[in-house]
Amino acid sequence: MSFLLPCPNCGPRDVNEFVYAGEISVRPQQQPSLAELAAYVYLRRNVAGIQREWWFHRFGCELWFQAERDTRTNDVLTTELVDSNRQV
């Protein structure tokens, strides 16, 4: 698999420069049940279509960012840096 992933800081780069860190999901509340915690850690929607994901530019600027990507075609619709103070 190879495609260009546009880093919001560096511009388009080969996807092999990045680390995929999974789809974006909502964190459980302060004291989740074991079932809620297990679902958060292990269960993913694995959408065939557009999903928001975490990426890390390992061999570049070393910044974390979010991307909106179509998993069927690997077309990247948007990328954005995330404020480190913002809760996701």
Q: How many CA atoms lie within 13 A of 1 on its CB side?
A: 11
Q: Is the pLDDT of residue 34 over 70?
A: yes
The pLDDT value given to residue 35: 93
**Confidence bin at 85 (pLDDT 50/70/90):** low
Q: Select from 3.30.2270.10, 3.10.270.10, 3.90.1150.10, 3.40.50.300 the CATH code of 4-81.
A: 3.30.2270.10
When pLDDT is averaged across residues 10-37 and rounded to a whole number, the result is: 94
When pLDDT is averaged across residues 60-87 and rounded to a whole number, the result is: 91
Between 67 and 43, name the one with better pLDDT: 67
The pLDDT value given to residue 62: 96
The pLDDT value given to residue 75: 97
Rounded CA gap, 55 and 30, in Å? Answer: 25
